[in-house]
C-alpha cells in the first residue's frame, strides 16, 4: 500500500513537472510570437512612413518651440525635452500597435510588409501624400456643395 502511494506521489510529481515544462514552453512561444508581431508592426509602420518617431516629432517640435517662448524666464534643460520625447514616443507606440493587432493577423502584417517593400508599395508611400494634397481642395469643395444642397433641401421641406 505504501509503495503504491509513493508510486502515485512520484508519478504525480513527474506529471506536474512535465506539464509545467510544456505550459511554460508554450507561454514563452506565445510571448515570442506576440513580440515578433509587434516588431513586424513597427517595421510596417516605418515602411508606410508612419513611424511613431516622425509623428511625435511633428507634434513635439511646435510644442517645444511654443513652450520655450512662453517660459523664457525658466531654464528648461534639453534633458527634460529628451525625456518628454521618449515618454511621448512610448505612448504613441502603445497607442498605434493595438490598432494593427486588432485588425490584422500576423500573416497579414507580413503580407503588408511584402507589399510596402515592393516597388508598387514604395510608390504608394511616395505618391499618397501628394494625392491627399491634391484631393483636399476637391473634397472641401464637394463638402461645401453638399452642405448647400442639404440646406436647400431642408428649407424646401420646411416651406411645404
* Residue-number span of the structural domain to which 134 is assigned: 122-160
Identify whether residues 110 and 150 lie together within a single domain. Answer: no
Assess whether pLDDT exceeds 80 at residue 131: yes
| Predicted confidence band of residue 85 (pLDDT cuts 50, 70, 90) | confident
Q: What are phi and psi of 97, to 5 degrees?
A: -60, -45
Within this chain, do residues 133 and 103 fall inside the same structural domain, yes or no? no
pTM over 0.75: no
**pLDDT of the residue at 28:** 44
Do 110 and 127 have their domain in common? no
Residues contacting residue 96 through CB under 8 Å, at least 6 positions apart: 41, 45, 50, 52
Looking from the CA of 126 toward its CB, the CA atoms found within 13 Å total: 7
Name the pLDDT band for 14 (thresholds 50, 70, 90).
low
* Neighbouring C-beta atoms of residue 57, cutoff 10 Å: 14
Do 130 and 107 have their domain in common?
no
CA separation (Å) from 36 to 26, 39, 41, 46, 83? 15, 5, 9, 15, 27
Residue 34: predicted pLDDT? 52
- What Cα–Cα distance (Å) separates residue 29 from each residue in 23, 36, 131? 10, 10, 42
Same domain as 69, residue 130: no
Q: Are residues 86 and 131 in the same domain?
A: no
Owner of C-alpha cell 510596417: 44
Domain total for the chain?
2
Q: How confident is the model at residue 74 (pLDDT cuts 50, 70, 90)?
A: confident
pLDDT tens for each residue of 53-70: 777 778 777 887 787 778
Amino acid at each position: 500500500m505504501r509503495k503504491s502511494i509513493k508510486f502515485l506521489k512520484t508519478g504525480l510529481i513527474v506529471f506536474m513537472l512535465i506539464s509545467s515544462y510544456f505550459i511554460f514552453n508554450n507561454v514563452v512561444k506565445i510571448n515570442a510570437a506576440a513580440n515578433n508581431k509587434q516588431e513586424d508592426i513597427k517595421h510596417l509602420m516605418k515602411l508606410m512612413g508612419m513611424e511613431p518617431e516622425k509623428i511625435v516629432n511633428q507634434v513635439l517640435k511646435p510644442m517645444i518651440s511654443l513652450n520655450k517662448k512662453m517660459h523664457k524666464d525658466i531654464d528648461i534643460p534639453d534633458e527634460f525635452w529628451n525625456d518628454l520625447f521618449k515618454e511621448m514616443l512610448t505612448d504613441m507606440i502603445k497607442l498605434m500597435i493595438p490598432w494593427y493587432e486588432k485588425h490584422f493577423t500576423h500573416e497579414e502584417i507580413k503580407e503588408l510588409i511584402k507589399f510596402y517593400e515592393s516597388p508598387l508599395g514604395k510608390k504608394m508611400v511616395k505618391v499618397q501624400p501628394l494625392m491627399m494634397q491634391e484631393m483636399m481642395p476637391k473634397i472641401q469643395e464637394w463638402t461645401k456643395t453638399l452642405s448647400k444642397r442639404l440646406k436647400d433641401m431642408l428649407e424646401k421641406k420646411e416651406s411645404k
